[in-house]
Amino acid sequence: MTDLDLETRLSDDDHQALKLWLRLLSCTTRVEDHIRQRLRQEFGTTLPRFDLLAQLERHPDGLTMRELSKRLMVTGGNVTGITDQLEAEGLVQRETRAEDRRSFIVRLTPQGRRQFKRMAATHEGWIVELFAGWTPAQKTQVHDLLALLKTHLKDST
């Protein structure tokens, strides 16, 4: 019964970690799908586009494509595509730089800033509603616990 060995060496504690992970994954995925759907329905946009705008809103002086690529954790080609769309919609603009003519600064347009603020406020409302059942202490605690995951991820890679 070698198969059984694989099972019996797992403690309850191990199964608890697996159960937690499966729930974490399914909950997060479902919330994410829900948010994608509402972003599309209510604002005709996507999560990657929203995320790019959010980065620019946090950096009023703009970011280069390379910086956006690193912050969004996607490769350069994708940033080009998303930026093209947002520029066509008039929400961001590319600005050339004299210092380095290979790159440029991507910045929110006034319209882009207004539009993003509207979307961000609505988006935040969805999230607040979602965590309405959690106390502030619980939110803080889980927020801090999650930081530990990233540590373990780096260690094992």
Residues that bind DNA (CB under 7 A): 36, 46-49, 64-67, 69, 73-81, 83-84, 94, 99-104
Q: Is 66 in the site for a copy of itself (CB under 8 A)?
A: no
Least distance CB 31 / a copy of itself (angstroms):
6
Cβ–Cβ under 8 Å, residues 47 and 54: no
> 143: which residues sit within 8 A by CB, 6+ positions away?
none
Least distance CB 129 / a copy of itself (angstroms):
6
Cα–Cα nearest to 68, from 25, 21, 33, 105: 105
Which range binds a copy of itself by CB under 8 A, 64-72, 85-93, 97-105, 109-117?
Answer: 109-117
Q: What does DSSP assign to residue 63? A: E
Instruction: State the burial class of residue 153 (Cβ atoms within 10 Å of its Cβ: 0-12, 13-18, 19+).
Output: exposed
Least distance CB 56 / a copy of itself (angstroms):
15
Q: Specify the residue, 77 or 133, whose C-beta has the smaller distance to DNA.
A: 77
Cα–Cα nearest to 119, from 9, 41, 64, 14: 41
Which residues of the shown chain bind a copy of itself in the complex (CB under 8 A)?
Answer: 3, 6-7, 10, 13-21, 23-25, 27-32, 34, 113-114, 117-118, 120-121, 124, 126-134, 136, 138-143, 145-153, 156-157
